[in-house]
Amino acid sequence: MKLIATDLDGTLLNENHEISEENIQALQLARDTGTEVVVATGRSYSAAKLPLQNAGLDFPIICLNGAKIYDKEERLIRSSPLDKDTCREIQQVCQQNNMYFEVFTNKATYSESREKFLEVMIDIMVSAFPNLTRKDVEAEAANRFQQEKIETIHDFDALFNREDIEVYKVLAFSMDDAVLDRVRGKLTNEDKLTITSSGFSNLEFNHPDAQKGIAVRIFAEKYGIDMQNVMAIGDNFNDVSMIKAAGFGVAMGNANDEIKEIANYTSKSNRENGVAYAIKEFLNK
């Protein structure tokens, strides 16, 4: 393999949202043997950079599902913002269905209410991690609010009317599968919008050019690497485009079964250093 593209949450990061020592060593081994490494995540750039810095790692970052691409020197090399009319349509449909949503822009990430954010995050975490205490759940929710540098705003119409604002992603949440399906169906429009998901309770809205697979291909071309020599590792539906585009797609052991069916190989889970396991198994193949 000449290029490895890895997702963060549920993939490179363990249950503590950290990069394990085993994963650090495997990524350093890959780089030392001449393999390029790029991170591809739905997170904003600052939120993606933090766990890498904490692990002493420095890689190019595809963030917001490919809406923004940064090289290792932190230079923005490509961006794919949403059309403002499309943003207004997303806002309208989400509000009609009582979905909490966040808007990721070139200035900040905006939410209508910190309290509603915490309420939604706590509901999701209680469902996903029933063994956590209420105190731990509240701490995790508050930590995400800080990591993404979320600001509250009460007038999204005014935000979308600002000429200095570019919107890169809208992230919407609901614990009701019927609501998620209804909103997805209402907003499905391949010409204006790509809809993916990074978890069982959310929808992610991006420009059609903002996909991890497209962004990974851009890096491969930059390095002169054929896509057949690319390994892409992920766990969720916003990883599908890069898993399909890569010559060798890897699903994490904790991935949804549909992701495993698309991939060429299923590794161990993110709790079991699945990224390191896949790299050591296939680095020289």
Per-domain residue ranges of the chain: 3-79+211-282, 84-206
Q: Cα–Cα distance between 170 and 159 in angstroms, integer?
A: 13
* Residue 196 near residue 204, CB atoms below 8 Å: yes
The reply to whether 7 belongs to the active site is: yes
Model-level pTM? 0.91
What would the pLDDT profile of 54-83 be if each residue is shown by its tens digit?
A: 999 999 999 999 999 999 999 999 999 999
Q: Indicate the CATH number for domain 84-206.
A: 3.30.1240.10
Domain 3-79+211-282: homologous superfamily in CATH: HAD superfamily/HAD-like (3.40.50.1000)
Whether 3-79+211-282 shares its CATH topology with 84-206 is answered no
Q: Is the pLDDT of residue 173 over 70?
A: yes
Other Cβ atoms within 10 Å of 75 Cβ, number: 9
Res 189: pLDDT: 75
The catalytically annotated residue of 7, 9, 235, 239 is 7
What string of H, E and C letters represents the secondary structure of the chain?
CCEEEECHHHHHECCCCCECHHHHHHHHHHHHCCCEEEEECCCCHHHHHHHHHHCCCCCCEEEHHHCEEECCCCCEEEECCCCHHHHHHHHHHHHHCCCEEEEEECCCEEECCHHHHHHHHHHHHHHHCCCCCHHHHHHHHHHHHHHCCEEECCCHHHHHHCCCCCEEEEEEECCCHHHHHHHHHHHCCCCCCEEECCCCCEEEEECCCCCHHHHHHHHHHHHCCCHHHEEEEECCHHHHHHHHHCCEEEECCCCCHHHHHHCCEECCCHHHCHHHHHHHHHCCC
Res 78: pLDDT: 96
Res 285: pLDDT: 65
Q: Mean per-residue pLDDT for 229-252?
A: 97
Which phi and psi angles does 38 have, rounded to 5°?
A: -135, 140
Task: Place 283 in a pLDDT band, splitting at 50, 70 and 90.
Answer: confident
Q: Is the pLDDT of residue 118 over 80?
A: no
Q: Is the pLDDT of residue 113 over 90?
A: no
For 3, 20, 57, 65, 185, the CA distances from 27, given in Å and listed in that order, are 11, 11, 9, 21, 39
What would the pLDDT profile of 134-162 be if each residue is shown by its tens digit?
A: 777 777 766 665 566 788 998 999 999 99
To the nearest 10°, report the CA torsion of 30, 52, 204, 269: 60
Q: Cβ-count burial of 130 within 10 angstroms (0-12 exposed, 13-18 middle, 19+ buried)?
A: exposed
Percent of the chain exceeding pLDDT 70 equals 94
What would the pLDDT profile of 119-130 be if each residue is shown by its tens digit?
A: 777 777 766 666
Q: Mean per-residue pLDDT for 171-187?
A: 94
